[in-house]
Amino acid sequence: MKIATYNVNGVNGRLPVLLKWLKEEKPDVVCLQELKAPQDKFPEAEILEAGYKSVWLGQKSWNGVAVLSKKSEPIISRKSLPGDDSDEASRYLEVKIDDLIICCIYLPNGNPVPGPKFDYKMQWFERLQAHAEMLITSRKKVLLIGDFNVMPTEKDVYKPEKFAKDALFLPEVRDAFHDLIGQGWTDALRHLHPDETIYTFWDYFRNAYQRNAGLRIDHFLLSPEVLPQLKKAGVDKEVRGWEKSSDHAPVWIELE
DNA sequence: ATGTCGCCTCGCAGGCGA
């Protein structure tokens, strides 16, 4: 079973690229982030035509998350993180697909630092930690998947010193990520490729992709009940080089 | 500071978020 995550940066503007990638790679389940489309503008019919049932959480202009599934229908169990009823951003969608709980995550970027956006990121992180603790305690097969907007270590940044004061790499942000991992989650890509340089995002600026000036910010965190099934993991890096590509590449894992 | 995208609007250019 192949599960993928892809920050599309506009699901409608990206539709030809998304459909081409789905056709080539045929993932069983896909988490999408940054739909940048209101609820009624999600391209459900085109994606269904490509062989995927989908559930989604839209929002005008910003954010937006979706889960696509080829075989079993995704059943929504949560449309937001607990802990702040005033948070209207579409950033969290939790579904059941067979015996798996799939949590599709679009963690706030947090720049500029300091400021309200960074405060929001840290609050969102705390809410994620609290909910993740509950999920991992359930002993079910849970996967936290998506754009975490965090480079966990120096190995995950092309030039760490350049990002020392960035909301994606500040020590307190990395600490929050490592505290989350500390609950018992496994970073699937790093687990299978401990020493490799792996990037999932390349800025549109300054030919970042051509220079391989990338970041690893899209992650799969597996609960202990899923980990024994993990067989492979990788990044579809070439997709980032396609015409009209997102600034992220699709990332995937294979479960037995 | 800048670069480049995608989406939106008291819209066809400029602001915002990333």
Q: Find the mean pLDDT for residues A223-234.
A: 98
Which nucleotides of strand B lie under 7 Å from a protein CB? 3-8, 17-18
The residue assigned the tokens 């609950």 is: A183
**Nearest Cα to Cα of residue A218 among A142, A140, A112, A144:** A144
Q: Which two tokens stand for residue A166?
A: 């960035």
> How do the domains of chain A map onto residue ranges?
2-255
Percent of chain A with pLDDT over 90: 100
Q: How many other CB atoms are there within 10 angstroms of residue A89's CB atom? A: 16
**Confidence band for A75, pLDDT divided at 50, 70 and 90:** very high
Write down the pLDDT at residue A86: 94
Write down the pLDDT at residue A11: 97
Alpha carbon distance A92, A202 (integer Å): 23
Write down the pLDDT at residue A161: 95
By C-alpha to C1' distance, B17 is nearest to: A62
* Interatomic separation, CA of residue A141 and C1' of nucleotide B14, rounded (Å): 47
Q: Measure Cα distances from A28 to A3, A22, A67, A71, A180 in Å.
A: 6, 9, 11, 7, 27
**Confidence band for A20, pLDDT divided at 50, 70 and 90:** very high
Alpha carbon distance A5, A200 (integer Å): 10
Cite the active site residues of A. 106, 147
Write down the pLDDT at residue A89: 96
By C-alpha to C1' distance, B5 is nearest to: A204
**Confidence band for A142, pLDDT divided at 50, 70 and 90:** very high
Q: Which two tokens stand for residue A253?
A: 């894992």
- A2-255 folds as Deoxyribonuclease I; Chain A (3.60.10)
Write down the pLDDT at residue A176: 98
Residues A155-185 pLDDT 10s: 999 999 999 999 999 999 999 999 999 999 9
Nucleotide nearest to A110 (CA to C1'): B18
- Taking the whole predicted model, whether its pTM rises above 0.95 is answered as yes
Q: Which residues touch strand B (CB under 7 A)?
A: A 9-14, 36-38, 60-62, 108-109, 111, 117, 204-206, 244
Q: Find the mean pLDDT for residues A35-48.
A: 97
Q: Find the mean pLDDT for residues A222-238.
A: 98
By the 8 A CB rule, do A144 and A132 touch? yes
Write down the pLDDT at residue A121: 97
Average pLDDT, chain A: 97
Per-residue HEC secondary structure of chain A comes to CEEEEEECCCCCCCHHHHHHHHHHHCCCEEEEECCCCCHHHCCHHHHHHCCCEEEEECCCCCCCEEEEECCCCCEEEECCCCCCCCCCCCCEEEEEECCEEEEEEECCCCCCCCCHHHHHHHHHHHHHHHHHHHHHHCCCEEEEEEECCCCCCHHHECCHHHHCCCCCCCHHHHHHHHHHHHCCCEEHHHHHCCCCCCCCEECCHHHCCCCCCEECCEEEEECCCCHHHEEEEEECHHHHHCCCCCCECCEEEEEC
**Confidence band for A96, pLDDT divided at 50, 70 and 90:** very high
The residue assigned the tokens 């994620």 is: A128
**Nearest Cα to Cα of residue A107 among A25, A3, A180, A21:** A180
Instruction: Tell me the pairing of strands A141-147 and A186-187.
Output: unpaired
Q: Find the mean pLDDT for residues A187-195.
A: 98
